Structure 1
Amino acid sequence: MHTWEWIPETPASWDDGKATVLSGLDPALFGLGSPGDGDPLGDEWWRVEDGAGRTVGYGRLDGSWGDAEILVLVHPDVRRSGVGSFVLSHLEAEAGRRRLNYVYNVVPHGHPDPEQVTGWLTAHGFAPNDVGELRKQIPAGAGPTRR
């Protein structure tokens, strides 16, 4: 069993950890613009660290009008280990605490593996809609499924 820690970043800023997790992908691909080291980031961010204190992932929640766009970022070295599911369950819990109705994600044009990301989100209960979003309803009192 993995030991991961969910750490709020308030306020969030661009740093080497985020750049490393993106592993060469352009931050603009995810709506982050072209940030420099220390530049503030909007929305709410959390960092995931493993038991050794290494950053293995990030979650972002952008809530508005009863819904929240989410972003799940996982370090390439730990993909397929459950970190993404850990991040997703915590983002859903955060949305539930805020009494939001849905979380959604838009797989950006230019993503290097859109089919895999879409398949992963679909396997986690997300459904596509007619405007290109993958949405999932948040049940009242939603919480993380594991820690």
Structure 2
Amino acid sequence: MDTWDWIPETPATWDDRKSAVLDGLDPALFGLGRPGDGDPLGDEWWRVDDTDGRTVAYGRLDDSWGDAEILVLVAPGARHTGVGSFVLQRLEAEAGRRRLNHLYNVVPHGHPDPEPVTAWLTARGFARNDVGELRKQVPAALVQHQG
């Protein structure tokens, strides 16, 4: 079983690692605009490196109004290894720490693999709503209550 490191990027900037994980896909497809090297990125980002120090994935969380939009990016060579689920679990745990209600993702128009991505999220408890978001309630066990 592979193990991965979950590394916060604060502040997050655009770099060659993110570009490599996107593997030629336009960052604008994911709402990132067209950043240049070193440009700051909004939201909170985490990088995932494998045991050899290779960057294999990213997680992004944008929380507002009690919910969080998430982005899970996995390098093509790391797909089907469990790293996407690793990223999702870490994002869910972060949402729980923040006492957020829901996570959501929108598979963008023009995504090269919309059906598999939608099926992957659905298999992990996300459901499509009437505005095209895939939403999942943050598991109650992850929400840390104050008191």
Matches within 5 A, 1:44-123: 44-123=44-123
In the other structure, the counterpart of 1:131 is 131
Unaligned stretches of 5+ residues in structure 2: none
TM-score by length of 1: 0.95
Residue 139 (structure 1) shift: 2.1
| In 1: Cα distance, 2:100 partner to 2:131 partner | 20
**Where does the alignment leave 5 or more consecutive residues of structure 1 unmatched?**
none
Pairs aligned (count): 143
- What is the CA deviation profile of residues 66-85 of structure 1, one whole-angstrom value per residue up to 9, with x for unaligned ones? 00000000010010000100
**2: CA distance, partners of 1:71 / 1:141:** 22
What is the CA–CA distance in structure 2 between the aligned matches of 1:19 and 1:142, rounded to whole Å? Answer: 32
Pair 1:10–1:141, CA change in 2 (3 A): farther
Indicate the SS of the match to 2:37: coil
Deviation at 1:141, TM superposition (A): 4.2
Task: Quote the residue 1:25 is aligned against.
Answer: 25
Tell me the distance in 1 between the aligned counterparts of 2:79 and 2:31: 22
Structure 1 residue 7 corresponds to structure 2 residue 19:
no
Secondary structure of the structure 2 residue equivalent to 1:62: strand
Supply the AA of the counterpart residue of 1:130: D
Instruction: Give 3-state SS (helix, strand or coil) of 1:57's partner.
Output: strand
Task: Give the C-alpha shift of residue 140 in structure 1.
Answer: 3.1
Q: Contact 1:99–1:140 at 8 Å: present in 2 too?
A: no
Q: CA deviation at 1:100?
A: 0.3
Letter in 2 for 1:35: P
Code of the residue aligned with 1:5 in structure 2: it is D
**3-state SS in 2 of match to 1:87:** helix
Q: Find runs of 4+ consecutive structure 1 residues off by over 6 angstroms.
A: none
